[in-house]
């Protein structure tokens, strides 16, 4: 390999190294921002009274309770609607 070719190769490698280093710095910044956001979300979850490690389980429990509450509301409305229909039938 000639001296000129070696110099060109070194320049190309130096440029590639610079690009990789710049990208690495950028990715480190992005990673730090994502870690900070994750930490903020964990604190927000804890402040809401939940354990981040059990969030899926707690979500399932809350959803089950919500479905029970919906059913209870439907049952109560059905009873009220039946009573109204009976009263209106008597008045006719």
The residue segments making up the domain with residue 8 are 1-49
pTM: 0.55
42 and 14 within one domain: yes
Encode pLDDT of 67-82 as tens digits: 999 999 999 999 999 9
Give residue 16's pLDDT: 97
77 and 33 within one domain: no
Count of domains forming the chain: 2
Q: Which residue has the tokens 């509450």?
A: 69
59 and 44 within one domain: no
Encode pLDDT of 20-75 as tens digits: 999 999 999 999 999 999 999 999 999 998 888 998 999 899 999 999 999 999 99
- Smallest CA-to-CA distance from 38 within 58, 19, 62, 55 is with 55
5 and 20 within one domain: yes
28 and 71 within one domain: no
42 and 10 within one domain: yes
């Amino acid at each position: 390999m000639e001296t000129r070719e070696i110099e060109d190769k070194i320049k190309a490698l130096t440029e590639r190294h610079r690009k990789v280093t710049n990208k690495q710095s950028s990715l480190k910044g992005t990673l730090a921002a994502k870690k900070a956001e994750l930490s903020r979300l964990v604190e927000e979850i804890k402040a809401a009274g939940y354990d981040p490690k059990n969030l899926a389980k707690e979500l399932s429990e809350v959803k089950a309770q919500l479905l029970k509450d919906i059913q209870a509301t439907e049952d109560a409305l059905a009873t009220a609607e039946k009573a109204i229909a009976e009263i209106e039938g008597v008045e006719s």
